[in-house]
Amino acid sequence: MSSGSLLRVAVGPRFAAPLLDYLAPAEGPVPPVGARVSAPLGKGRRTGFVLEHLDASDVPAERLRPVLDVLDAEPLWDPVTLDVLCWAANYYCHPLGQVLAYALPKQLRGGGRLPFPPLRWRACENVSGEVPKLLSRAPRQLELLEALLAAGRNGVAEEALVSLTSGWRRIIRILEAKELAESFEPGTPDHADMLREEPLALSPEQSAAVSAMPMSQGYACHLLDGVTASGKTEVYLHLVEQVLASGRQCLLLAPEIGLTPQLADRLKARFRVPAAVLHSGLGDGERLNAWADARAGRARLVVGTRSAVFVPCRELGLIVVDEEHDPSYKQQDGFRYQARDLAVMRASRAGIPVVLGSATPALESLLNVQRGRYTHPRLTKKVTGSRPPLARLVDLNRHPPEHGLSAPLLQAMSEQLDSGAQVLLYLNRRGFAPVLMCPDCRRTEECSHCDARLVFYRRRDLLLCHHCGARRRPPPVCKNCGSPLQTIGRGTERLEEELQARFEDYPVARMDRDNVRGRRRLEHILGGIRERHYRILLGTQMLTKGHDFPSLGLVGVIDADQGMFSQEFRGPERLAQTLVQVAGRAGRREQPGLLVLQTRFPEHPLLRQLLKEGYGGFAASALDLRRLSGWPPF
């Protein structure tokens, strides 16, 4: 067999088959490495990915079958991204075909074609002022040509032509045949025209951080450790400007869908370059177009959640992982990967810098700083100049809560609301009540699939498993003894009702995964918060990440004990990160805010250490404990 006539193919997406050998098609070009093929498997055909061209195979020649169709004339991934995907499949022990399929938009997994690049139209350079007069008897051609002439060499986008005249495609083809109009793919703006607004002046700390992270010296991992509101995003923007000026693309990751709009908006407000946004909240067509724009290099800025770490970029020059400590970067089912770690691996193999930003860095990242693998620029002051919030522990043993709210917290809320400030209450528990229990026989409603306790939702009259997603209607009485059931504990849905009853004059905004479904709903709630329509903000971790609420005077943590006695060894780290992050939201620009922590263990060492030494002191002690215990990352 001739060289390259054998192909090693990974079959996906629903098969855990090993790599299979196939014959290249008898006619036509040999598919390149990284391209998709339609391959026979059993009695059917499956989409596969070419990984290697072989000179020989261990499979007998008579058993080799040719691929049925070549779906791509060129690779879907650049060599570095494909290499990282292969490494990830091996490291995370997942079938390679499934990993490659996961990294693609939905339409491409089943053999769909790449979308055509968007085109712009402009008048040909040889069109003179006399030409339009020759079209006086063709008014629609004349109208379209005059629009192209008015647009100059930048041309007109196809979507603009749709609104200009009906049947524009037929007319533009006539002008093209007459050599009066031509199509072209839009290029990247020159650096002189790249900035839409002037960059903000940096503080001395920000300037030092930017200087400590060179963008043109190859791979380096920088852990940007900055307190909340210290201006980490502005540092990102200055680094992005340097990379765009060198003609390269930037990939920026956010932990959740809710944070991508504000990050993308900041970038679009600063830079006049094409941008693409990728996350699961978009339609399939939107994701495919954004993915194709990033791959082709048309999108110079790419913003996305964890799966965007696999998006191919033709000229990638920088990766930014915002809120790098966030557990949302870890995929919890299917292909279980850590996007932060893969971002570092991708940057290393591509020879480009990567920036990990956080106010509460993961212990793994801090250990890499200690070992000299990461640099550690720090931002210790808020750019607004405001002081850290005043913290107060409320002992719930001395101040029993009424509907989850202690008297000191209620008093602080009333004072802040009367002064015109907003109040944020943090409760990391969705639903109405976490337990539905019989008071007589103590039976609780549990999931029949995974034995986890079912969470009760009163508005939907539903029992939902937060572990596996199973759902069913609650029984009217106990199945064992027939007694009426009682709800135990409270979630955000229940607390919202209690707040609305107690503070009737102050609208309440609830932000959790149940109440915020879709981008428009999220933007509506955030807009209402910024416009001060909502005075009381209630939510889970979704509300505490990366949002700037300038009128926020008080943050109340309803249950600071959640996670304090977790069986998971990362429980204390997660709790410390959450408390520091939510505390960072407090404080109006002109004065410090107030943090109220409700706890039944006010003398707990974790709380005392956080209040006295901050997150840095906690992290140092936690790493020592991990080292002595032999727990990861040791």
At residue 119, the 3 state secondary structure works out as: coil
What's phi and psi for 208, nearest 5 deg? -65, -40
pLDDT score at 15: 66
Cα angle, residue 300 at apex, residues 296 and 304 outer, rounded to 5°: 95
40 assigned to some structural domain: yes
Decide if 596 contacts 554 (C-beta within 8 A): yes
All residues at 6 or more sequence positions from 391 whose CB lies less than 8 Å from its CB, including other chains:
583, 595, 597, 611
384 assigned to some structural domain: no
- Residue of 336, 326, 285, 275 whose CA lies nearest to 305: 326
Q: Running DSSP on this structure, what letter comes out for residue 302?
A: E
- pTM for the predicted model, two decimal places: 0.86
Q: Give the bridge partners for 195, in sequence order.
A: 271
Do 170 and 274 lie in a common domain?
no
106 exposed, middle or buried (CB, 10 Å; 0-12, 13-18, 19+)?
middle
Average pLDDT over residues 162-170: 80
446 assigned to some structural domain: yes
Where a domain ends, among 379, 407, 422?
Answer: 379
Max CA distance (Å), the chain: 94
CATH of the domain at 274: 3.40.50.300
Average pLDDT over residues 151-161: 80
Instruction: Please write the tens of the pLDDT for every residue from 459-501.
Output: 889 999 988 888 889 998 998 888 899 998 899 999 999 999 9
Decide if 264 contacts 308 (C-beta within 8 A): no
Of the pLDDT bands very low, low, confident and very high (cuts 50, 70, 90), residue 28 is confident
Q: Running DSSP on this structure, what letter comes out for residue 195?
A: B
Where a domain ends, among 317, 347, 379?
Answer: 379
pLDDT score at 310: 97
576 assigned to some structural domain: yes
119, pLDDT greater than 90: no
The highest-confidence range among 1-5, 233-237, 437-441, 547-551, by mean pLDDT, is: 233-237
Average pLDDT over residues 99-122: 87
Question: What span, in angstroms and rounded, lies between the C-alpha atoms of 592 and 610?
Answer: 18
Q: Give the bridge partners for 471, in sequence order.
A: 464
590, pLDDT greater than 70: no
Between these two residues, 232 and 18, which has the higher pLDDT value?
A: 232
Question: What span, in angstroms and rounded, lies between the C-alpha atoms of 533 and 529?
Answer: 6
- Separation of CA 262 from chain center: 11
Amino acid 253 reads L
Do 322 and 420 lie in a common domain?
no
Where a domain ends, among 461, 488, 515?
Answer: 488
All residues at 6 or more sequence positions from 62 whose CB lies less than 8 Å from its CB, including other chains:
none
Q: What is the 3-state secondary structure (H, E, C) of 123-171?
A: ECCCCCCCHHHHCCCCHHHHHHHHHHHHHHHHCEEHHHHHHHCCCHHHH
DSSP string covering 561-627: TTTTT-SSTTHHHHHHHHHHHHHTT---TTS--EEEEEES-TT-HHHHHHHHHHHHHHHHHHHHHHH
599 assigned to some structural domain: yes
pLDDT score at 191: 54
pLDDT score at 498: 93
Q: Is the peptide bond before 605 cis (omega within 30 degrees of 0)?
A: no
Average pLDDT over residues 413-420: 92
Question: What span, in angstroms and rounded, lies between the C-alpha atoms of 50 and 35?
Answer: 6
pLDDT score at 396: 94
What's phi and psi for 433, nearest 5 deg? -150, 140
pLDDT score at 77: 95
pLDDT score at 518: 67
Average pLDDT over residues 533-541: 91
pLDDT score at 134: 66
Decide if 440 contacts 478 (C-beta within 8 A): yes
All residues at 6 or more sequence positions from 242 whose CB lies less than 8 Å from its CB, including other chains:
215, 216
Of the pLDDT bands very low, low, confident and very high (cuts 50, 70, 90), residue 589 is low
618 assigned to some structural domain: yes
Decide if 142 contacts 136 (C-beta within 8 A): yes
DSSP string covering 448-461: TTT-PBPEEETTTT
Question: What span, in angstroms and rounded, lies between the C-alpha atoms of 66 and 57?
Answer: 13
Structural domain for 456, as ranges: 433-488
**Mean pLDDT across the chain:** 89
Do 221 and 232 lie in a common domain?
yes
Instruction: Please write the tens of the pLDDT for every residue from 512-526.
Output: 888 887 667 878 888
28 assigned to some structural domain: yes
Decide if 261 contacts 519 (C-beta within 8 A): yes
593, pLDDT greater than 90: no
Do 475 and 522 lie in a common domain?
no
Between these two residues, 97 and 189, which has the higher pLDDT value?
A: 97
Do 268 and 223 lie in a common domain?
yes
Do 136 and 100 lie in a common domain?
no
Question: What span, in angstroms and rounded, lies between the C-alpha atoms of 558 and 61?
Answer: 69
Instruction: Please write the tens of the pLDDT for every residue from 218-265.
Output: 999 999 999 988 899 999 999 999 999 999 999 999 998 888 888 999
455 assigned to some structural domain: yes
Of the pLDDT bands very low, low, confident and very high (cuts 50, 70, 90), residue 417 is very high
Q: Write out the E strands in 233-352.
A: 249-253, 275-278, 301-304, 316-322
Decide if 541 contacts 579 (C-beta within 8 A): no
Do 497 and 408 lie in a common domain?
yes
Question: What span, in angstroms and rounded, lies between the C-alpha atoms of 186 and 114?
Answer: 18
Do 241 and 375 lie in a common domain?
yes
Do 523 and 398 lie in a common domain?
yes
Between these two residues, 13 and 614, which has the higher pLDDT value?
A: 614
Distances (CA, A) of 425 to 360, 409, 412, 508, 557: 20, 10, 12, 10, 6
Do 26 and 164 lie in a common domain?
no
At residue 12, the 3 state secondary structure works out as: coil
Do 364 and 215 lie in a common domain?
yes
- Number of domains making up the chain: 5
Average pLDDT over residues 178-188: 78
Instruction: Please write the tens of the pLDDT for every residue from 266-309.
Output: 999 999 898 999 998 888 889 999 999 999 898 999 999 999 99
Of the pLDDT bands very low, low, confident and very high (cuts 50, 70, 90), residue 194 is confident
Decide if 6 contacts 56 (C-beta within 8 A): yes
Do 512 and 466 lie in a common domain?
no
